[in-house]
Structure 1
Amino acid sequence: MNIAYWTIAGLLAIFYVYAGTLKAIRSRDQLRPMMAWVDHMPLPALRALGAVEILGAAGLILPPLTGIAPSLAPAAAIGFVLLQAGAITVHLMGGDRRITLNAGLTATAAVTTWLATRL
């Protein structure tokens, strides 16, 4: 179970550090080709979303790694499930039906939640 957790949580953390960093530092014009929904969100909210994704990724890795507050790992994974549920809602409300990545991330975060409770 440990190997499964570290593999899945590590990949999820890499994805969210990358996506969060893009949202935190890039302009709307740079993000628009990848994320059509950025025009529907205020820039400070977009930056905050990027920070939340980076902090969530740290929450998946650091608590189990250090042994300090290991219950934060499942909380971070649950946070990503909720984040992706919101992302799917935003996509569908904007008329964007491309939610395959979001559905995959939701499932991956749900599996990570289950594995984190088994550490």
Structure 2
Amino acid sequence: MNLALWIVAGLLAAVMLFGGAAKVLVPREKLAAAPGGGWTGDASTGFVKTLGAVEVLAAAGVLLPAAAGVAPVMVPVTAVCWVLLMAGAMVTHLRRGEGAAVVANLVYLAMAAFVAWGRFGPESFTG
């Protein structure tokens, strides 16, 4: 179980890092033209860049606290925050009729929920 949680957390961190870096580094207009990125055309550049920065920080928060042994409770807290972010992303994509993006968000939400459940419960770093 512990290994599965590390693997899922690592995959989530990769998704968070790449998605966040794209939002920070790629111009909003280019993001808006990408599949599933149409919502960025309706958002301000500042919002998109801030969201990207939050995602990059989440990538660190879902792995580094446990790896460093400093405040490992931040791993499941970050996972819960990612669940909330993905719920919001799903609403946004549903409103825009972007079904494929909703499915991807649902998968990421489920992965984060698994990490949160596992790290708050049976494979807690504090127990």
Give TM-score scaled by structure 2 length: 0.88
Q: How far has the Cα of 1:4 moved from its partner? A: 1.0
Corresponding residue for 1:112? 115
1:86 to 85, 88, 106: 88
Alpha-carbon distance between aligned partners in 2 of 1:41 and 1:109, rounded to the nearest angstrom: 25
Paired positions, count: 119
Tell me if structure 1 keeps the 8 A contact 2:29–2:41: no
Structure 1's unaligned 5+ residue stretches are none
Q: State whether structure 2 residue 106 is matched by structure 1 residue 103.
A: yes
Corresponding residue for 1:12? 12
Corresponding residue for 2:52? 50
Tell me if structure 1 keeps the 8 A contact 2:28–2:48: no
Q: How far has the Cα of 1:81 moved from its partner? A: 0.3
**Runs of 4+ residues over 3 Å off in structure 1:** none
The CA RMSD over aligned residues, in Å, is 1.1
Alpha-carbon distance between aligned partners in 2 of 1:29 and 1:43, rounded to the nearest angstrom: 9
Q: How far has the Cα of 1:12 moved from its partner? A: 0.5
Q: How far has the Cα of 1:29 moved from its partner? A: 2.6
Corresponding residue for 2:74? 72
Please state whether the residue corresponding to 1:52 is helix, strand or coil.
Answer: helix
Q: How far has the Cα of 1:84 moved from its partner? A: 0.3
Q: How far has the Cα of 1:58 moved from its partner? A: 0.5
Give TM-score scaled by structure 1 length: 0.94
Please state whether the residue corresponding to 2:115 is helix, strand or coil.
Answer: helix
Alpha-carbon distance between aligned partners in 1 of 2:11 and 2:98, rounded to the nearest angstrom: 26
Alpha-carbon distance between aligned partners in 2 of 1:61 and 1:8, rounded to the nearest angstrom: 10
Specify the code of the residue in structure 2 equivalent to 1:96.
Answer: E
Structure 2's unaligned 5+ residue stretches are none
